[in-house]
Amino acid sequence: MTASRGRARKGKAAVDIIEYDVFSLWIGEEEDIVPESVSAFAINASCKEVVTGFGVYLVGTRGVRPGTQRVYSRHVREFLERRFPLGIVLGRELSARDLFLYVTEHAARGRVVTTKLAATALRSFIRYLVIRGDCDPSLIDAVPCIPNWRLSRLPRVLSEQQAATVMANLNRATPIGRRDYAIILCLVRLGLRAGDVVRLSLDDVDWRSGILRIQGEKSRRARILPLLQEVGSALVAYVLKGRPTTNERRIFVSHRRGPQKGMPMTGSAIWAVVRRAVRRSGIDVGRVGAHTLRHTFASQMLHNGVDLKRIADILGHCSLDTTFVYTKVDLDRLAEVAQPWPGVTS
């Protein structure tokens, strides 16, 4: 069987499309192409009820973390709301074509990583329906697989000078400035994820011993990191001179007026802090977020001679394979092992 590969524009997702005469059996350009046993569902409920049940299954049966459950549920909700704008999921109107079109339309406007995540969420949703007896198992294969090869891209990082410029342009004379400065330091000096920063609690800081306890959401195991003086001073300045009065134990809270004031920040809010800080600094580095600063921390450690195993432990990686990507941005070391090009003397 031959296959043709459709490629989107640079920066967009590419979706492998099997030749039409075979794949049309799934997407059904004519209604009678898709077998009734494949397109039929028994469910008939509101979108909210279906998504809620899926979320309970993810946490209770699959054992996924709450963050993963929220992301998967968001994609499934988007799919159902687009397919059923009136809010009622009419099960027998769902088909393999609906699944295929949702993923390919997502690929046309999104990045490879987010499109792959959307396809994974949709595939997990179909498996949930299969377990309930509401879906034919064959429909799982209707969700396209998105190619996203490991180590195929370089992580975006800032130079030491760029990172220093970002921090220097934060106004630490204001409460929000003190908070944002402490957040940026946690990302670029400790390599924390946005979720780690969100969950960081006053109870996680051992001031006497000078350590931080980071409860990882992905690895489900805590790791202990040294509380650097620079980071500790920024946390103290924020907690004592910038943090709103609140009973919340999470360190970083919202400063918005109204009922949200003093409530814990979200992961998207942490990303917004980073984007705002980079924009204010005036450096042109393209699209950045909280993970850019985490990548910056890891690449700087590698450049300073820290071995990969140590970096993996600090970042909370369960596998060294995840950490290997940083070897691709250590250009100085790569130049040392690069072989000369035939016929070129310099």
Is residue 8 in a domain?
A: yes
List the structure tokens of 302. Answer: 């590698």
CATH at 317? 1.10.443.10
Of the listed 116, 172, 178, 294, which one is catalytic? Answer: 294
Nearest CA-CA partner of 274 in 291, 297, 253: 291
- Coil, strand or helix at 73: helix
| pLDDT over 60 at 14, yes or no | no
Which has more pLDDT, 225 or 323? 225
- Residue 326 annotated in active site: yes
Q: Model confidence over 23-56: pLDDT tens digits?
A: 333 334 433 333 333 333 455 678 888 899 999 9
Q: Model confidence over 278-318: pLDDT tens digits?
A: 999 998 888 888 888 988 888 888 878 888 788 888 888 77
The answer on 260 and 181 residing in a single domain is yes
Cβ of 250: how many Cβ atoms within 10 Å?
Answer: 18
Is residue 344 in a domain?
A: no
Domain boundary among 142, 169, 192: 142
Backbone phi and psi for residue 206, each to the nearest 5 degrees, phi listed first: -100, 95
Return the pLDDT at 122: 92
Return the pLDDT at 154: 66
The answer on 132 and 177 residing in a single domain is no
Q: What is the mean pLDDT of residues 327-339?
A: 57
Of the listed 127, 132, 291, 303, which one is catalytic? Answer: 291
DSSP structure class, residue 49: H
Cβ 138 vs Cβ 313: under 8 Å: no
Domain total of the chain: 2
List the structure tokens of 137. Answer: 């198992």
Is residue 343 in a domain?
A: no
Nearest CA-CA partner of 186 in 155, 225, 146: 225
Beta pairing, strands 88-90 & 205-206: unpaired
The answer on 171 and 272 residing in a single domain is yes
The answer on 310 and 238 residing in a single domain is yes
Q: Model confidence over 254-270: pLDDT tens digits?
A: 999 888 899 999 988 99
Q: Give the Cα separation of 93 and 70 in Å (integer).
A: 26
- Residue 106 annotated in active site: no
Return the pLDDT at 9: 38
Cβ 180 vs Cβ 273: under 8 Å: yes
Strands (E), the chain: 3-6, 15-18, 44-46, 88-90, 205-206, 211-215, 222-226
Of the listed 77, 123, 189, 317, which one is catalytic? Answer: 317
- Residue 65 annotated in active site: no
Is residue 151 in a domain?
A: no
Which has more pLDDT, 44 or 277? 277
Is residue 319 in a domain?
A: yes
The answer on 201 and 53 residing in a single domain is no
The answer on 200 and 137 residing in a single domain is no
Note down the domain range covering 202: 160-332
Q: Model confidence over 168-189: pLDDT tens digits?
A: 999 999 999 999 999 999 999 9
The answer on 241 and 171 residing in a single domain is yes
Q: What is the mean pLDDT of residues 223-246?
A: 94
- Residue 238 annotated in active site: no
- Residue 291 annotated in active site: yes
Of the listed 74, 111, 218, 275, which one is catalytic? Answer: 218
The answer on 11 and 50 residing in a single domain is yes
Of the listed 189, 193, 243, 295, which one is catalytic? Answer: 193
Of the listed 57, 102, 238, 326, which one is catalytic? Answer: 326
The answer on 189 and 72 residing in a single domain is no
Cβ 65 vs Cβ 219: under 8 Å: no
List the structure tokens of 55. Answer: 């979320």
| pLDDT over 60 at 149, yes or no | yes
> How close are the terminal C-alpha atoms of the chain, in Å?
48
Query: Which H or E run contains 118?
Result: helix 112-132
The answer on 300 and 189 residing in a single domain is yes
- Mean of the per-residue pLDDT values for the chain? 79
List the structure tokens of 94. Answer: 């769902």
Q: Model confidence over 184-222: pLDDT tens digits?
A: 999 999 999 899 999 999 999 999 999 999 987 665 678
List the structure tokens of 332. Answer: 């100085």
Question: What sign does the CA torsion over 92, 76, 69, 136 have?
Answer: positive
The answer on 187 and 71 residing in a single domain is no
Q: Does residue 316 come out as left (phi exceeding 0), alpha (psi in the -120 to 50 range) or beta?
A: left
Q: What is the mean pLDDT of residues 123-151?
A: 82
- Residue 294 annotated in active site: yes
The answer on 164 and 84 residing in a single domain is no
Domain boundary among 112, 142, 172: 142
